[in-house]
Amino acid sequence: MTYKSLTAALDHYRQNEWRADIVISTGDLVQDDSAGAYRHFCELLGELALPVYCVPGNHDVRAVMQEVLAQNQINYCKSIEHGNWLIAGIDSCVDGKAGGHIAATELDRLDSEIYGSGMQHVMVCLHHPPVQMNSKWLDSVGLANADEFLARVSAPGNVKLALFGHVHQPCETEHDGITILGTPSTCRQFTPGSDAFAVDDNPPAYRRVNLYADGRFEHKLIWVNDEPVF
């Protein structure tokens, strides 16, 4: 199902005029822990002929993910400088746990990349939500040190955007001038505001983000509903 719905999302991108310079995947690339599943992901994304940047999610197996991505020239937790923006990918996962926690070493790496970059503006990408989702079960597997993360990204004054995955539903909020965006899955979506695990009938989705050299940005959530995929 995930293969089919990801294909539908990529087809939607190809069939429309908006064009990307890079692709960012905010984790949970596969469900079954297999190298074969990561190869499928690489095959599908490879068809776009664009640079792809990934961070791990709680369903990913870091070692397998890193190995297969490296074999396919796909970037893992790597930061890039692009058009006056630093785009930083960080690891928010904890082995064996659904919930996230960003290690001190990872927060320090983020700091050094932000302060060491010549880019004026910063977008940070991670898997777990740094904000509450007002969903009892999802908030029980959120980012344990969200406050610490938000304090770190607020301090430099040039972090404009934080993108996350994990929650399979849209989220658009703000913290201290930083726009925080959660993007639904390229597969099934979770019911917003639900106390317990529940999926809804929303289609796969992806988000278009335009970053401009003067620090402006635009974003648009795209539901892939041109054709039934489930």
Select the residue whose beta carbon is closest to Fe ion and give its number: 166
Q: Could you say which of 40, 121, 152, 166 contacts Fe ion (CB under 5 A)?
A: 166
Q: Could you say which of 57, 130, 142, 192 contacts Fe ion (CB under 5 A)?
A: 57
The residue (of 28 and 91) whose beta carbon lies closer to Fe ion is: 28
Q: Pattern of binders to Fe ion over 172-201, x per CB under 5 A?
A: ------------------------------
Number of residues lying near Fe ion (CB under 5 A): 4
Q: Contact between 129 and Fe ion (CB under 5 A)?
A: no
Give the bridge partners for 121, in sequence order. 85
Gyration radius of the chain's alpha carbons: 17
The residue (of 121 and 166) whose beta carbon lies closer to Fe ion is: 166
Q: What share of the chain is helix, strand, coil (3-state, %, to 5)?
A: 25, 25, 50
Q: Which residues contact 111 (CB under 8 A, 6 or more apart)?
A: 152, 156
Q: Which residues contact 52 (CB under 8 A, 6 or more apart)?
A: 22, 23, 24, 25, 45, 74, 75
Give the bridge partners for 52, in sequence order. 23
The residue (of 185 and 202) whose beta carbon lies closer to Fe ion is: 185
Helix, coil or strand: residue 138: helix
Q: Contact between 152 and Fe ion (CB under 5 A)?
A: no
Q: Pattern of binders to Fe ion over 19-38, x per CB under 5 A?
A: ---------x----------
Q: Which residues contact 63 (CB under 8 A, 6 or more apart)?
A: none
The residue (of 166 and 188) whose beta carbon lies closer to Fe ion is: 166
CB 26 to Fe ion: min, Å: 9
- Give the pairing type, strands 52-54 and 23-25: parallel
Q: Which stretch binds Fe ion (CB under 5 A): 8-16, 56-64, 76-84, 211-219?
A: 56-64
Find tokens 């974003």 and name the residue.
219
Q: What is the DSSP letter of 143?
A: B
Q: Contact between 58 and Fe ion (CB under 5 A)?
A: yes
The residue ranges that bind Fe ion (CB under 5 A) are 28, 57-58, 166
